[in-house]
Chain A
Amino acid sequence: MNKEMLNNILKFSLVLVIVGMVAGGSLSFVYLKTKSKIEEQQKKEELAAKNVIFKDKGYVFKKIKKEGIEYEEVYKNGKLEGYLFKAYGPGYSSVIVTLVGVDTNFNIKGIVILSQAETPGLGARIKEVKSDKYIFNFWKKKSENTKPWFEEQFEGLNALSLKLIKGGKEYKDLDDKAKEKLKKKNEITALSGATISSNAVLSSIKAKADSLYKILKK
């Protein structure tokens, strides 16, 4: 009885070990094959985000870490043009990571939300693009803007004194005059029903810009 049990245990573990080894081995093989591609993908994404923020060519980025804060200095033709940093804001159901580019006066050149996992239909709309492509004319290539409207409204505002307005119309539904007005007042419209996500982006940018500003002023 005991010997049989021991035999069984040995047999079972042998089977499990073999299965485990084959599985682990083949996965490692695939991992090594895809690893460089995955890293390349991540780099590409950040590079694309940088290009959205600093549109023209010829910008040079220099990584810097000062007093525990990581940011990048942006140069063009040897002249300091601005800064680039990442802001992390705890949203509704995820940490929202935003890449922010500012000029030397901390006026925002542009922002790109790099990662978020907010609620679809509410907070996830921080990446919503205003679209006019209908199912019955999808083949028409329209000169459609591909930038999410929530990101777009940050452009040109001052990072240090951003304000959120809640409950009104969303930026995408405003006319040009109202947009101008918002810009003057340095205000951002919140997503309807997703104040927490909107605020997470805004206050994380403000906080990071603030601490960076203080360090640079010293």
Chain B
Amino acid sequence: MDLGTLLQITIAAIFINNFVLSRFLGLCPYFGVSKQVDSAIGMGLSVIFVMTIAATVTWPIYYFVLKPLGIDFLQTIVFILVIASLVQLVEMVIQKVSPSLYESLGIYLPLITTNCAILGVTVLNISESYNFIESVVNAFASGVGFTLVLILMSGIRVKLEDTPLPEYMKGLPLAFFVGAVMALAFMGFSGFKI
């Protein structure tokens, strides 16, 4: 296994092609769940978890089932169903195994099915023709990148909560401007080359 490639994929997924700030995936939770740091961490961890499992499951399905049967045009439909049932399964397992973890992550899991970042990462893994290990690493790193900006965002929003602003600027518009500044900051990573 080429460790260099894996490192490159990791850095690219976290900083350069950050899911939220450069690929525009997973924006709904980015704006919806970033009002408090705690919930941002909870959401972030669940996304990392589900993303990694989703990539682990969808890659073999694509290469061992869909491709050999010549039905790879059903990719979207199969992937989203796999993700939906996976989320349900993960929810049930966590509930049984660790009720305390369930309490902190439970409310975020149903939201994840419609988080486009999850489907996005599985589709990207196929279209970039990553191998199995690369796919899993890419999914995990993308999740980490997502969590990173989500936590940063929530920290900034908490600080900005009490700023005196015109009423129509509060909430979403402000969040978008913060997002713009963050996107600008992350562009600085584009020079990274390993």
Contacts and interface: CB of A to CB of B under 8 A. Distances in A.
Touch A–B, Cβ below 8 Å: yes
Interface of A: 23-24, 27-28, 31, 92-93, 95, 119, 196
Contact of A27 (B16, B22, B77): B77
A119 B18 CA distance: 13
B17 A93 contact: yes
B129 to A, nearest CB: 9
A196 B193 contact: yes
Contacts of B16: 92-93
B73 interface: yes
Q: Is the contact region of chain A dominated by helix, strand, or loop, or is it mixed?
A: helix
Nearest to A16: B81
B97 interface: no
B17 A28 contact: no
* 6 nearest CB pairs, A to B: A31-B73, A93-B17, A24-B74, A27-B74, A23-B77, A27-B73
Nearest to A27: B74
A92 B71 contact: no
A196 B12 CA distance: 14
B100 interface: no
B190 A92 contact: yes
Nearest to B193: A196
Interface in B69-117: 71, 73-74, 77
Interface string B16-56: 11000010000000000000000000000000000000000
12 contacts: A24-B74, A24-B77, A27-B73, A27-B74, A27-B77, A28-B71, A31-B73, A92-B16, A93-B16, A93-B22, A119-B22, A196-B193
Contacts of A95: 128
Contacts of B17: 93
Contacts of A27: 73-74, 77
Nearest to A24: B74
A95 B190 CA distance: 16
Nearest to A30: B73
A119 B77 CA distance: 28
Nearest to A117: B127
Contacts of A93: 16-17, 22
Contacts of A28: 71
Contacts of A31: 73
